């Protein structure tokens, strides 16, 4: 499953038949989907950790299914099930492993109970941005390691979306010092949750569909979710007043498609290419959508709902950065595979940061408002 293998025979079909539909073009611009031929029609189920049709995340899973349906000419038809429709949101990985569903859509840090190393492929605090994550996965050896981590479970991972830099989250009380984190009950997954715990907070693994209710009822004091586009859709401004940035815990969160290995191997070669390349299209399209919609949503939150947007104090960010290095280093020492993932991630980070210092960062510093 080398990357070059997927970009061959399906490349033309991807660009001609799938790219426009993956980029949210109007329906009138799309050719009609051909009726299934006499060839066997294969039906797959796709389960997600996201609420049904939720903007960005849920619709990203819908786009993935639609692309596969269209690019295959109806030969591979994928039906999407939102969180809780077929399996609970936090059981998506197990459902794909067991073959209850042939595909899943979620984020790798949800499966740290399966493998600590999985968390590196979603988001690392103070780690890689979306653009840098894609570079590591596709050209820095990350994808090969990700497949190796999931191989014992009979699951193939593919990057299938990215939210970009997230917000630090919603808080019912001000955060003015590290001391304000002590005892703070916050919904925060993955490595970010481990860091918060080291800072004296209490990470809570609330599923996405329960975030608003938990925050409103006081089961948690704070929550991170994604960013303005999704946070507005969840109505989180109704449950907490303070909206902090930057998203130190998730600087470029990769969303994943999970594919059952046996189901994938049973597909003809052309349909295998279509599945993988549809994921690539959705991966880029989702990031573009978040980049386009976040600021308008933030403006609505501030101007229409009076949300108090604040930057986390430097003292807090510095302490969280120190603790992040501790947490990640300790996970790397737990087992050889986690150590190899850590080494690959950190070595690539050093290289890409050196380049971005004189490219992306330098340009943004001089661009101005």
Percent of the chain scored above 90 by pLDDT?
88
Asked if residue 27 has pLDDT above 60, the reply is no
Q: Label residue 89 by pLDDT band (50, 70, 90).
A: very high
pLDDT of residue 35: 52
Q: Label residue 369 by pLDDT band (50, 70, 90).
A: low
Ranges of each domain in the chain: 3-165+252-291, 169-250+307-367
| Cα distance between the two ends of the chain | 44
Nearest Cα residue to 253 out of 113, 159, 366, 331: 159
What are the φ/ψ torsions at residue 42 (nearest 5 degrees)?
Answer: -105, 135
Give the mean pLDDT of 280-304.
Answer: 98
Asked if residue 22 has pLDDT above 70, the reply is no
Give the mean pLDDT of 277-288.
Answer: 98
Asked if residue 255 has pLDDT above 80, the reply is yes
Asked if residue 365 has pLDDT above 70, the reply is yes
pLDDT of residue 7: 39
Give the CATH fold of the 3-165+252-291 domain: D-Maltodextrin-Binding Protein; domain 2 (3.40.190)
pLDDT of residue 15: 35
pLDDT of residue 64: 98
Element (H, E) at 259: strand 254-260
Superfamily of domain 169-250+307-367: Periplasmic binding protein-like II (3.40.190.10)
| pLDDT, tens digit (0-9, with 9 covering 90-100), for 154-213 | 999 999 999 999 999 999 999 999 999 999 999 999 999 999 999 999 999 999 999 999
Asked if residue 25 has pLDDT above 70, the reply is no
pLDDT of residue 4: 41
pTM of the predicted protein model: 0.88
Asked if residue 13 has pLDDT above 80, the reply is no
Average pLDDT over the chain, rounded to whole?
91
| pLDDT, tens digit (0-9, with 9 covering 90-100), for 98-120 | 999 999 999 999 999 999 999 99
């Amino acid at each position: 499953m080398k990357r070059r293998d997927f970009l061959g025979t399906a490349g033309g079909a991807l660009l001609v038949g799938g790219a426009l539909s993956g980029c949210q073009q109007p329906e009138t611009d799309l050719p009609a989907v051909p009726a299934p031929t006499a060839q066997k029609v294969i039906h797959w189920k796709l389960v997600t950790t996201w609420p049904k049709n939720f903007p960005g995340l849920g619709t990203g899973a819908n786009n993935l299914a639609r692309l596969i349906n269209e690019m295959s000419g109806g030969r591979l038809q994928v039906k999407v099930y939102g969180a809780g429709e077929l399996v609970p949101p936090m059981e998506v990985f197990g459902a794909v492993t067991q073959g209850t569903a042939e595909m899943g859509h979620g984020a790798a840090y949800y499966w740290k109970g399966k493998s600590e190393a999985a968390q590196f492929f979603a988001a690392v605090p103070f780690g890689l941005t979306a653009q840098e994550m894609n570079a590591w996965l596709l050209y820095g050896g990350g994808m090969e390691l990700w497949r190796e981590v999931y191989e014992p479970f009979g699951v193939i991972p593919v990057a299938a979306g990215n939210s970009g830099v997230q917000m630090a989250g919603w808080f019912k009380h001000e955060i003015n010092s590290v001391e304000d984190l002590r005892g703070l009950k916050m919904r925060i997954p993955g490595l970010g949750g481990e860091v918060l715990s080291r800072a004296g907070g209490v990470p809570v693994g609330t599923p996405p569909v329960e975030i608003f209710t938990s925050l409103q009822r006081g089961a948690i004091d704070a929550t991170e979710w994604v960013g303005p586009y999704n946070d507005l859709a969840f109505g989180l401004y109704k449950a907490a007043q303070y909206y902090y940035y930057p998203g130190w815990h998730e600087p470029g969160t990769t969303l994943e498609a999970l594919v059952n290995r046996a189901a994938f191997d049973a597909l003809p070669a052309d349909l295998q290419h279509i599945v993988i390349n549809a994921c690539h299209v959705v991966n880029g399209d989702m990031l573009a959508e978040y980049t386009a919609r976040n600021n308008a949503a933030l403006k609505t939150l501030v101007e229409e709902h009076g949300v108090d947007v604040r930057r986390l104090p430097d003292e807090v960010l510095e302490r969280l950065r120190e603790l992040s290095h501790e947490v990640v280093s300790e996970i790397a020492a737990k087992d050889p595979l986690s150590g190899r993932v850590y080494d690959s991630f950190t070595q690539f980070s050093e290289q890409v940061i050196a380049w971005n210092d004189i490219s992306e960062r330098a340009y943004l510093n001089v661009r101005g408002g």
